Amino acid sequence: MKSPFAYQPRPRPLQLASPPPAIAYLGAITVVAFLYSNPLVLIAAGIAAVTAGLLAGARRAVEFALKMGFSLALLIVVVNALVVNRGETVIARLGDWPLFGEVNVTLEAIVAGLSMGLRAAVVLVAGAVYSACVDPDRVLRALRPLAGRSALTATLVSRLVPVAAADAARLRDAARLRGPGAAPVGKAPLARRLLAGSLDRAVDVAATLELRGYSLDAPPARSRRARSRYDRRFYAVAALVLVAAIAGKAVGTDDFQTYPAVAIGLGPATLALGVIVALSGLAPLRRFKPKRHPQQVDGQKSRLYGGKSARQRGRRGVARV
């Protein structure tokens, strides 16, 4: 079964776009999550990331990322509530703990932990959408003019790690098939055999690369792949989100305070920024072409065949037979 975070090519705008605009678009949502602490803006960034993933067809990746994000957010809230004793509104007094000392759970600590948890969840969802929708080979190909050796190394690692995992699975299956009378094989012998096989494969790969001329300082080849018609859209949305986020940060849109009392800003500027960020998730939306009626399709085909319909062409074919 394939990992939910593995890249799967689909005829969607986010997959068809070039890597730089796709990375800029998802990176803009991530930048908003790191710049702001206001829960309203963070929720808007989460909505944008989830919507982008669903429109791009990465439903499984979004679902797994949301589960991981909610679990991590809950852990952050619990830890922050137990560690931080600041705040005016005390919810529970848990007494003295061996490592934490006097533990007083406050509303302000819970809200602060919730803000940090939302930030982590948004970053996880955006990363999951990137992993499932952006082709890693195209990313490495785009990095080749900047760092050719690093791009080659990353390509080899991304290809050889799954091969090593498959070798480990085959070795475990072979150890199980030895029969009940054979001595049990521990993890250390399997690890040594896997390491020896990986080193042998690495030597073979290095020799093959040397024979193909990868050790020569040849000029980097230019990518012949044409730019996608969706590149401008993602560039424009990313620029709009970044400009709105930076401008909002400069004018004080991130009006959020946790200590000593909770104060969440819900001004017009904050609401406008939240709307802009949430609507940015619609960038991967594609236009659906209206389905043509079968009679229209047959009419177009008849014009190609000299005005004859499909039925007439079929009768003529039968007559010839």
pLDDT at residue 1, rounded to an integer: 53
Q: Measured between alpha carbons, how far is 262 from 197 in angstroms, rounded to an integer?
A: 58
Question: Rounded to whole angstroms, how far apart are CA atoms 94 and 113?
Answer: 18
Please give the backbone phi and psi of residue 213, each rounded to the nearest 5 degrees, phi first: 85, 20
**Which residues on adjacent β-strands are paired with residue 89?**
none
Domains of the chain by residue range: 13-139+228-282, 293-321
**What is the per-residue pLDDT across 139-179, written as a single tens digit (0 to 9) for each?**
877 777 676 677 677 777 767 777 777 888 888 888 778 77
Q: What is the pLDDT of residues 251-306, one digit of tens each?
A: 888 888 888 888 888 888 899 999 999 999 999 988 765 555 555 545 544 544 45
pLDDT of 321 over the 50 cut: no
DSSP labels, 122-148: HHHHHHHHHHHHS-HHHHHHHHTTT-H
Of the pLDDT bands very low, low, confident and very high (cuts 50, 70, 90), residue 240 is: very high
Q: What is the mean pLDDT of the chain?
A: 81
Enclosing H/E stretch for 25: helix 19-35
How much is the average pLDDT of 14-21?
Answer: 90
7-16: per-residue pLDDT in tens?
888 889 999 9
- Band (pLDDT 50/70/90 cuts) for residue 316 is very low
